[in-house]
Amino acid sequence: MKILMLAPEPFFQPRGTPISVYFRLKTLSELGHQTDLITYPLGEDINFSGLEIHRIPNLLRAKKIKIGPSWIKIPYDFLMFWKAFFKLAGGERDLIFSHEEAALPGAVLGKIWRVPHLYDMHSSLPQQLENFDFSRSALLKRIFLRIEQFILKNSQAVIVICQDLQETVRKEGAGSKSVLIENFLDFPGPDYSARDIEARRRELVPGGKKVVLYAGNFEPYQGISLLLKAVAGVDGRAVFLLVGGSSAENKEMAKKAAALGIGERIILVDRVPPSEVPLYIGLADVLVSPRLSGTNTPLKIYSFLKSGKPVVATRLWTHTQVLNDGISVLVDPTAEGLAQGISFALFNEEARRRAQAAKSLAEREYTPSRYKEKIKNSLAMARVNFDKGR
């Protein structure tokens, strides 16, 4: 098919939705489709067969666009709409495939040009306002809810990335046209040997210390502040390796750790390419996700499950829609609860048994072939439902 995709974020950057978009595009390419991607002016170009990237002009001269809702996205999304409009006017397309809030112009353009629309729903739009503390306005939340309802009604298929979103879609009466596609694929990269992993561990970690790894961005909802408070309650034989902050964020994190008297137990590594994350997972003894809010499953959870390393996570719906006590160590979202869970994962054989059960589950359920089949199903559903609605 000839597909027009709308992705309202910097692409490519190694963070949530852009990572998901990357794997959607990669799979579309492997399936033989041709995709025109319309996206923001920022980001790294990616080369896949059949892919052309079209960036809107950087009229506001933005150097960074933060994760979540922001006012700067409004004019950029407006530019994306018109760029997509003229693309559709210039040639026939078989499908419009839109992500996040770009689904609003995508659904409108689908109606105008009579093209099926596939909505890739990475999060609930009204929930974003709360998760990122963008606005507490009840009116704005109602507006976002109406927009989401319009999008769901006027999309021929909806991809959801977690059970929570699937339930949201079902409540809006669109469950029959939803496909659950978890973001569990890994980036291609070096096949790190045991020697590579041990060399990096010696470089970073004092001899004989256990390593607790957090990998991801440093947004407040991720719970890094909670993790820092938990450090003092964990045996001093363990250090905490935090990978994923910017240089400025790491400097601020180092100050917070020093103020808590745990500076010597915190190791900070600047953001690395996704292909390098397995190196750090490989050298860790325990993997932790201290997230405090949100309902989407963190992308890192799937990589953690595949690793065979004990996973510690807060006992919140963001985690429990995938994790359970048989494959992970779930804890209360408190500093004490997190410290107890990490200690258990570090020194209890039961934690390693759960980690092996998690790895077996991941090898069975989270495979590239299953991912590709689900993408094919979502494309087919969009076409079938569009033909039915004619």
All structural domains of the chain with their residue ranges:
2-184+368-389, 194-365
Cα 320 from Cα 297, distance rounded (Å): 8
Q: Of the ranges 297-301, 308-312, 320-324, 350-354, which one carries the lowest mean pLDDT score?
A: 297-301
Q: What is the pTM for the complete model shown?
A: 0.84
278 neighbors 194 (Cβ within 8 angstroms): no
* Mean pLDDT for the stretch of residues 200-215: 92
pLDDT for 134? 59
pLDDT for 79? 95
Cα 347 from Cα 315, distance rounded (Å): 20
Report whether pLDDT(192) > 80.
yes
Mean pLDDT of the residues in the chain: 93
pLDDT for 60? 87
C-alpha closest to that of 32 among 14, 17, 51: 51
Report whether pLDDT(135) > 70.
no
* Mean pLDDT for the stretch of residues 209-222: 94
Report whether pLDDT(121) > 80.
yes
pLDDT for 91? 84
pLDDT for 130? 66
pLDDT, tens digit (0-9, with 9 covering 90-100), for 44-99: 999 999 999 999 999 888 888 877 777 788 899 999 999 999 999 988 899 999 99
At the second CATH level, the architecture of 2-184+368-389 is 3-Layer(aba) Sandwich (3.40)
Cα 224 from chain centroid?
17
Percent of the chain that is helix, strand, coil (3-state, to 5): 50, 15, 35
Report whether pLDDT(139) > 90.
no
CATH of domain 194-365: 3.40.50.2000
